């Protein structure tokens, strides 16, 4: 199976870091683009299996949205005649993230066009499930993500924050309560983990010098 490449188009720093931390933990190649203009160049490379885009960064009547819409709808000729035509990409899936402030205008359009989207804030397990489905559609992974064991140790630790006393489940997100971390909570957990790691390293070095 080819390498999984995921392009994130988002100018929200909190969202950028949270998404990258989760997707990086799977060993997937993740690139963040904070500018719509730069996103066009990245799409032209044809290196991506999935594009995750903050809908607030696109004009729903503009060229970037129209290209992403066509790609999301599976139109292989979406880029013909555009600046992306020099490097026609493989099958690319698109997931639109919709902040609440943008939902009133964007949600009706996304639903009318049948485009995959998630409203922010969203449950992390809903995000991971949708990402898995789209990567299967793109041919980037062979099977949907079915169990927590399909995710890395980092993800299992995050789940453990919410269900430390629960037994191992066969279904990936059997209970919504197991995975109700906001982006801010995820970042706080990552910061705590990093601080603990540095503390352990310092203690180890101090013992070595005794």
Q: Which domain CATH number covers 90? A: 3.40.50.2300
- 10-20: pLDDT as tens digits: 998 888 988 99
Q: Tokens 């994130």 — which residue?
A: 8
- 37-74: pLDDT as tens digits: 888 888 888 789 999 999 999 988 888 999 999 988 87
Nearest CA to 84 among 69, 67, 109, 59?
67
Nearest CA to 105 among 35, 68, 55, 39?
55
Split into its structural domains, the chain has a count of 1
Query: Which phi and psi angles does 8 have, rounded to 5°?
Result: -110, 120
**Range of the structural domain that residue 148 is part of:** 5-208
| Residue 143 burial class via C-beta count within 10 angstroms: exposed 0-12, middle 13-18, buried 19 and up | exposed
Nearest CA to 176 among 193, 186, 162?
162
Question: Taking a C-beta distance cutoff of 8 angstroms, is the pair 64, 79 a contact?
Answer: no
CA–CA gap between residue 64 and residue 39 (Å, rounded): 8
pTM comes to 0.67
Q: Tokens 């996103």 — which residue?
A: 39
In the 8-state DSSP scheme, what is residue 66? H
Residue 134 banded pLDDT, cuts 50, 70, 90: very high
Query: Which phi and psi angles does 152 have, rounded to 5°?
Result: -75, 175
Average pLDDT, the chain: 75
């Amino acid at each position: 199976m080819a390498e999984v490449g995921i392009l994130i188009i988002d100018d929200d720093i909190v969202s950028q870091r949270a998404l990258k931390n989760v997707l990086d933990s799977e060993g997937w190649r993740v690139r963040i683009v904070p500018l719509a203009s730069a996103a066009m160049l990245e799409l032209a490379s044809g290196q991506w299996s999935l594009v995750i885009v903050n809908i607030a960064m696109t004009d729903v009547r503009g060229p970037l949205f129209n290209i992403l819409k066509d790609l999301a709808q599976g139109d292989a000729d979406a880029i013909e005649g555009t600046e992306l035509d020099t490097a026609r990409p493989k099958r690319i899936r698109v997931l639109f993230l919709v902040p609440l402030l943008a939902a009133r205008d964007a949600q009706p359009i996304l639903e009318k066009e049948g485009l995959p989207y998630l409203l922010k804030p969203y449950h992390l397990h809903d995000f991971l499930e949708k990402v898995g489905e789209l990567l299967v559609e793109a041919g980037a992974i062979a099977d949907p993500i079915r169990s927590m064991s399909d995710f890395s140790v980092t993800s299992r630790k995050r789940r453990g924050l919410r269900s430390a006393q629960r037994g191992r489940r066969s279904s990936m997100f059997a209970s919504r309560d197991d995975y109700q971390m906001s982006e801010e909570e995820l970042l706080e957990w990552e910061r705590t983990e990093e601080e603990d790691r540095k503390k352990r390293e310092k203690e180890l070095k101090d013992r070595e010098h005794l």
